[in-house]
Amino acid sequence: MTRKNINRLIGYGILVFVAGFAGGLAWSRYIQLLMPVGSIFTFIGVVYFFIDLDLNEEFPNARMDDIDDMLRYFWNYIVLKFWTSIFVFWMIVMLLMLPIRGFLLTGSN
């Protein structure tokens, strides 16, 4: 699987999860069933990311080069990985809450 496809799988999984979370709270609790679907996409993407992981390829410039400014280095190597980790942790917590507590609270249903 190419790196571009892995990134798409993770990104679309996060979007489907967030759509299921927000739509489930705003409109119908059954839209929350999109949360496990988005989580599966993201988890598969993360698994493929770790299978294909080559640290020399993923972080070719582990140190900042002269052509990189501090903001670009910070964004490319730290922030994107950090936010993906936060979303994956949020997905795990929410997936544990669905079977334990049932659907999240909704105002319309």
Provide the residue-wise pLDDT of the chain in tens; the chain has 109 residues.
777 888 889 889 999 999 998 888 788 888 888 999 999 999 998 888 878 766 566 555 555 556 666 677 667 667 777 888 888 888 888 888 877 777 766 544 4
Q: Domain of 27? A: 3-101
Residue 107 lies in a domain: no
Do 55 and 36 contact (CB within 8 A), yes or no?
Answer: no
Residue 109 lies in a domain: no
Number of domains the chain is built from: 1
Of the CA atoms within 13 Å of residue 4, those in its CB half-sphere come to: 0
Residue 93 lies in a domain: yes
Residue 108 lies in a domain: no
Do 36 and 95 contact (CB within 8 A), yes or no?
Answer: yes
pLDDT at 107: 46
Q: What tokens does 58 get?
A: 């993923």
Q: How far apart are CA 78 and CA 91, in angstroms?
A: 20
Residue 106 lies in a domain: no
Type and span of the H or E element at 71: helix 70-74
